[in-house]
């Protein structure tokens, strides 16, 4: 179990616990700014984006202690407010049955990082009762929103998976899960910050991929799917190889493999990886 | 099983394409809405239905009386909460989504349940512990009504809540299974569970 499961999972994976998606619809209206919708913007949280400039300065200076301090302070705050974890497609589909409402929206990361036009960028999902108040944040939702049924959302999630996007759950006020992301490196701020700066705003998933060398034909279909730089082709055997230490367990490689040569193992069943989140 | 090469090959479509005609909602520039419940609604409801209404003049709380009062309370609340004076943007959006998706549970119903709690006992601690399209669970930690009944040696307050919630379910156009479980020592702990009945169940 990861530390989030231990605290918020009720003995199961925390993101499959319906309690972490439930929240009140109403509170008594306060006077002034809140009434006019000036609450914190959910996307302004930004998965560490706000401290990366500082981190780059520290890295350029070569002061490792400073870099570690920035990370430690930022993570301490993030784990109470806003972080994410990789999930498999199967888990993602299960979540769509325990969270509601489900809202298709544009991805803020890809808009900023890659300048994606809104009409081509509906790859994120806002979930839970806060989405009934989406108009509070016009800039975040400037591309509009689409409220979906669970079945429509599942089809849409499979389209995203097929296109090669990593699926994650995202917390907005721990342990409340208010977003389901589908993104890719380098556009995704969470994936990018984790890979480029070892910033653990994004936790690894509960599974790890493993290649069956007998079944692998060396077709290379899986190689381009990995967003975490954990898949390689072994030159001397011409077989795919997963660096399990680097694998985030998203499962994108599995659905690209026509010979069914890759499987997902439970991270905790592997002593060397059980604490590698 | 979704996690399979063959299954994914059958999936077609562009994620950014609108899922159905006119489904996409857009920002209405310059509009400033109110989303939370106004205090004035509490004053209005309390004026017409003070908490003391739960006991008749003889201080009795028989089943018929509590059912009648539960229905009276929720009908009053629905009338006021949906009036032009108190209706908010959250209510409009919940109804809009229900119209688009055909899914009315839990939120069309939950809205009335929550407003009922906030109006009758605004200082209580409570939370929603599950809100799926099949199940809604509301947990009260220190229900003022439960405590008030316990102080009088009574434990039938759930009849009032169930009658009120039944009116809310009817207003939302839903047939629901309802249950509640209370703490035994009158500490105000109570969980209400609402479920969509399963076919054949």
Report the pLDDT value the prediction gives residue A42, as an integer from 0 to 100: 54
Report CB contact under 8 Å: A26, B111: yes
Interface of A with B in 154-193 (CB under 8 A): 155-156, 158-163, 182
Nearest neighbour of B111 by CB, restricted to A25, A122, A162: A25
- Nearest CA distance, B197 vs chain A (angstrom): 16
B112 contacts B148 by C-beta, under 8 angstroms:
no
Cβ pairs bridging A and B (under 8 Å):
174
Report the pLDDT value the prediction gives residue A36, as an integer from 0 to 100: 46
pLDDT digits (tens, 9 = 90+) for B8-25: 889 999 999 999 998 999
Report the pLDDT value the prediction gives residue A53, as an integer from 0 to 100: 84
A149 contacts B102 by C-beta, under 8 angstroms:
yes
ipTM above 0.90, yes or no: yes
Report CB contact under 8 Å: A149, B102: yes
Residue with more model confidence, A257 or B201: A257
Residue with more model confidence, A214 or B151: A214
A226 contacts A270 by C-beta, under 8 angstroms:
no
Could you state, in order of their start, the residue ranges of all structural domains in chain A? Answer: 47-203, 207-268
Report CA Rg, chain A: 19
pLDDT digits (tens, 9 = 90+) for A115-162: 999 999 999 999 999 999 999 999 889 899 999 999 999 999 999 999
Which chain A residue lies closest to B9 (C-alpha atoms)? A162
Q: Which residues of B touch A23 (CB under 8 A)?
A: 128, 131
Report the pLDDT value the prediction gives residue B176, as an integer from 0 to 100: 97
Q: What is the DSSP string of A94-150?
A: HHTTTS--EEEE--HHHHHHH---GGG---EEEESGGGGGGGG-TTTTTT-BEEE-H
Q: Which residues of B touch A20 (CB under 8 A)?
A: none
Mark the ranges of chain A whose per-residue pLDDT is less than 70.
Answer: 32-48
pLDDT digits (tens, 9 = 90+) for B112-137: 999 999 999 999 999 999 999 999 99
Indicate if the pLDDT at residue B201 is higher than 70. Answer: no
A114 contacts A187 by C-beta, under 8 angstroms:
yes
Nearest neighbour of A152 by CB, restricted to B19, B24, B137: B19
Rounded distance between C-alpha atoms, residue A84 and residue A46, angstroms: 11
Report the pLDDT value the prediction gives residue A18, as an integer from 0 to 100: 96
Q: What is the pTM of this model?
A: 0.93
Nearest neighbour of A26 by CB, restricted to B36, B39, B129: B36
Report CB contact under 8 Å: B37, A36: no
pLDDT digits (tens, 9 = 90+) for B159-190: 999 999 999 999 999 999 999 988 766 677 89
Question: Best interface-test mutation with B: which of A10, A20, A24 has the largest number of B CBs within 10 A?
Answer: A24
What mean pLDDT comes out for the span B73-79?
98
Which chain A residue lies closest to B101 (C-alpha atoms)? A149
Interface of A with B in 210-239 (CB under 8 A): none
User: CATH assignment of A207-268?
Assistant: 3.30.70.20
Delineate the domains of chain B, giving CATH numbers in brackets. 38-45+62-195 (3.30.1380)
Report the pLDDT value the prediction gives residue B2, as an integer from 0 to 100: 63
C-alpha to C-alpha distances, B87 to A43, B43, B92, B93, B96, nearest whole angstrom: 28, 15, 8, 11, 14
Report the pLDDT value the prediction gives residue B31, as an integer from 0 to 100: 86
Report the pLDDT value the prediction gives residue A47, as an integer from 0 to 100: 63
Query: Taking all residues of chain B, what is their mean pLDDT, rounded to a whole number?
Result: 92
Report CB contact under 8 Å: B36, A260: no
CA atoms within 13 A on the CB side of A140: 21
């Amino acid at each position: 179990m990861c530390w989030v499961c231990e605290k918020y999972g009720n003995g199961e994976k925390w993101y499959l616990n319906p309690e972490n998606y439930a929240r009140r619809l109403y509170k008594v209206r306060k006077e002034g700014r809140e009434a006019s919708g000036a609450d914190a913007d959910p996307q302004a949280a930004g998965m560490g984006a706000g401290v990366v400039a500082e981190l780059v300065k520290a890295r350029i200076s070569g002061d490792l202690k400073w870099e570690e301090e920035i990370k430690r302070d930022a993570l301490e705050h993030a784990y109470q407010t806003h972080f994410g974890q990789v999930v498999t497609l199967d888990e993602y589909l299960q979540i769509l049955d325990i969270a509601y409402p489900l809202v298709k929206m544009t991805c803020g990361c890809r808009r900023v990082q890659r300048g994606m036009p809104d009409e081509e960028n509906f790859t994120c999902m806002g979930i839970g009762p806060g989405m009934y108040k989406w108009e509070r944040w016009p800039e975040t939702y400037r591309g509009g929103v689409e409220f979906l049924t669970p079945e429509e959302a599942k089809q849409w999630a499979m389209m995203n998976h097929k296109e090669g996007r990593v699926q994650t759950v995202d917390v907005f006020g721990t342990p409340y899960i208010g977003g389901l992301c589908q993104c890719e490196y380098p556009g995704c701020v969470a994936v990018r910050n984790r890979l480029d700066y070892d910033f653990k705003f994004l936790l690894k998933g509960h599974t790890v991929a493993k290649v069956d060398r007998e079944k692998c034909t060396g077709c290379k279909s899986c190689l381009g799917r990995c967003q975490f730089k954990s898949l390689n082709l072994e030159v001397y055997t011409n077989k795919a190889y997963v660096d399990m230490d680097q694998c985030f367990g998203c499962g994108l490689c599995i659905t690209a493999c026509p010979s069914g040569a890759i499987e997902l193992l439970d991270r905790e069943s592997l002593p060397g990886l059980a604490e590698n989140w | 099983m979704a996690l399979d090469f063959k299954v994914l090959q059958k999936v077609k479509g562009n994620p950014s394409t609108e899922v159905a005609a006119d489904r996409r909602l857009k920002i209405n520039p310059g509009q400033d809405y109110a989303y939370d419940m106004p205090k004035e609604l509490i004053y209005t409801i309390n004026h017409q239905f003070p908490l003391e209404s739960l006991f008749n003049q003889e201080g009795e709380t028989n089943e018929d009386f509590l059912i009648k009062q539960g229905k009276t309370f929720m009908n009053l609340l629905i009338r006021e909460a949906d009036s032009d004076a108190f209706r908010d943007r959250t209510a409009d959006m919940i109804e809009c989504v229900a119209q688009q998706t055909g899914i009315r549970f839990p939120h069309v119903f939950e809205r009335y349940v929550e407003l009922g709690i906030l109006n009758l006992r605004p200082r209580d601690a409570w939370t929603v512990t599950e809100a799926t399209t099949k199940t809604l669970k509301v947990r009260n930690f220190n229900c003022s009504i439960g405590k008030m009944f316990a102080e009088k040696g009574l434990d039938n307050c759930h009849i009032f809540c169930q009658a009120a919630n039944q009116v809310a379910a009817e207003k939302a156009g839903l047939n629901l299974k309802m249950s509640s479980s209370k703490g035994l020592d009158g500490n105000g702990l109570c969980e209400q569970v609402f479920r969509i009945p399963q076919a054949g169940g």
